[in-house]
Amino acid sequence: MDKQMKLHYMNRIDEKLSDLPWFVTEFIDSRKRKLSPTTLLNYCHDYIIFFDWLVAEHFTTASRKDIGLASLETLTIRDVENFLSFLEYKLGNTKLTINRKLSALKSLFDYLQNKAETSDLKPYIQRNVMAKMELNAIKESQETMANRIEGKILREDDFESFRQFVAYDFGEMNKENKRIYNFHQFNRERDTAIISLILGSGLRLSEVAGINLEDIDLNKALVRVIRKGNKEQYVYFSKQALLDIESYLQIRESRYVPDKLESSLFIAAPIGRKGKNRRLTQRSIEKLVEKYAAAFGKPTLTVHSLRHSFATRYHLENNDVPRLRNQLGHSSIQTTMIYTHLTDEEMRKAVNNMDR
């Protein structure tokens, strides 16, 4: 993540913290050196949901910002179980999402009990109810995970069909709607390059959004990305992705008219007369993928499922798990092994075809 993107996230974090209790600000500040800005921003969102629930359920008469430490110490296990039920049944959160929110609360409460100290060297809270809470048990075999993912990815000819749809067919489909048609004509090279890059490299959403012009090596079809854990890596992308990126770069300056200091690869057009170009955010990229996926007739397609699509195709054609692991930036080879299960059906068909 470059300095501009990091500053953007830190500003958003500060906005959220301005309406959260003082001790949350202190906790977030203590984690800025160790956790990514996106993780800290997610923490802030989770805390807002939790403290708003405390207010709505009358655990306190204070506003969200003015909730005190005493309100946290009096919470019971039953109270927290009710909050987790609220997340699941009222907000529709999955067990994985609930685990993430509970982990954020556990980290906060652990800080208040075991790390933060008052002026007389006592912990902020004596009683930590979150320490008694257990995460949801979620056990999925690699085969189960593969089956869950299987219906949400692109297969074989779908790769080029989807790319062609983004580049041309979406515009033709909406020719009668001038606003949508003109917007697509303006952005189609950029959007095609984004889709093609993900399908041709398996990059994560954050990695695509964070690419700068100087990170791209067109001669070697390589892109420099910052992976999880702040690790720098150079990742190969496909020839088709290279062609689409080159097409986008040919019109980037003339069409988007970026400032001289604008280093982001993928940018949005300025809004208004005095508007400035800005880096496409992760959410903007998610939304454009969702838009094309729904129109293409595969509404379950996401940036992440495009990454899965690349990995499945790579494994089917190369059968090289260690190299795939490196390409995807997985810390554990067990994570990569899921794609061996995803391609079982293709392998079966290939063996059967030998009898023809």
- List 222's β-bridge partners, or say none: 217, 236
Tell me, what's the pLDDT at 351?
52
* 304 is a catalytic site residue: yes
Q: Are residues 345 and 199 in the same domain?
A: yes
Q: Are residues 82 and 35 in the same domain?
A: yes
Check if the beta carbon of residue 100 is closer than 8 Å to that of residue 84: no
- List 236's β-bridge partners, or say none: 222
Q: Are residues 162 and 41 in the same domain?
A: no
Check if the beta carbon of residue 46 is closer than 8 Å to that of residue 91: no
Which of 139, 160, 188 is the C-terminal boundary of a domain?
139
Residue in the block written with tokens 């489909």: 173
Whole-prediction pTM: 0.60
Tell me, what's the pLDDT at 146?
47
Token code pair at residue 158: 């779908």
* 155 is a catalytic site residue: no
| Containing structural domain, residue 37 | 3-139
Q: How many C-beta atoms surround the C-beta of residue 238 within 10 A?
A: 17
**Which residue in 190, 313, 339, 341 is the catalytic one?**
339
Tell me the torsion sign for CA atoms 243, 245, 246, 247: positive
**Which residue in 228, 231, 287, 348 is the catalytic one?**
228
Tell me, what's the pLDDT at 30?
92
Q: Are residues 150 and 281 in the same domain?
A: yes
Which of 93, 121, 139 is the C-terminal boundary of a domain?
139
Q: Are residues 97 and 206 in the same domain?
A: no
Helix (H) or strand (E) holding 340: helix 338-342
| CATH number of the domain residue 83 falls in | 1.10.150.130
Count how many domains the chain has.
2
Q: Are residues 206 and 307 in the same domain?
A: yes
First to last CA, the chain: 52
**Separation CA 62–CA 38 (nearest Å):** 29
Tell me the torsion sign for CA atoms 215, 218, 219, 225: positive
**Which residue in 307, 313, 325, 341 is the catalytic one?**
307
Torsion of CA 256, 217, 163, 231, to 10 degrees: -100
Residues of the chain with pLDDT under 50: 140-142, 144-149, 354, 356
**Which residue in 190, 252, 279, 330 is the catalytic one?**
330
Token code pair at residue 312: 């499945």
Which of 107, 139, 171 is the C-terminal boundary of a domain?
139
Q: Are residues 296 and 156 in the same domain?
A: yes
User: Do strands 222-227 and 231-236 pair parallel, antiparallel, or not at all (unpaired)?
Assistant: antiparallel
Q: Are residues 102 and 245 in the same domain?
A: no
Helix (H) or strand (E) holding 323: helix 321-328
* 204 is a catalytic site residue: yes
* 228 is a catalytic site residue: yes
**Which residue in 184, 190, 204, 341 is the catalytic one?**
204
**Separation CA 62–CA 87 (nearest Å):** 22
Q: Are residues 262 and 293 in the same domain?
A: yes
Tell me, what's the pLDDT at 139?
53
| CATH number of the domain residue 247 falls in | 1.10.443.10
Q: Are residues 46 and 193 in the same domain?
A: no
Q: Are residues 126 and 154 in the same domain?
A: no
Mapped onto helix, strand or coil, the DSSP state of residue 225 is: strand
Mapped onto helix, strand or coil, the DSSP state of residue 50 is: helix
**Separation CA 85–CA 98 (nearest Å):** 9
**Separation CA 208–CA 222 (nearest Å):** 13
Q: pLDDT tens-digit profile of 102-156? A: 999 999 999 999 999 998 899 999 999 999 998 876 554 445 444 444 556 677 6
Q: Are residues 297 and 266 in the same domain?
A: yes
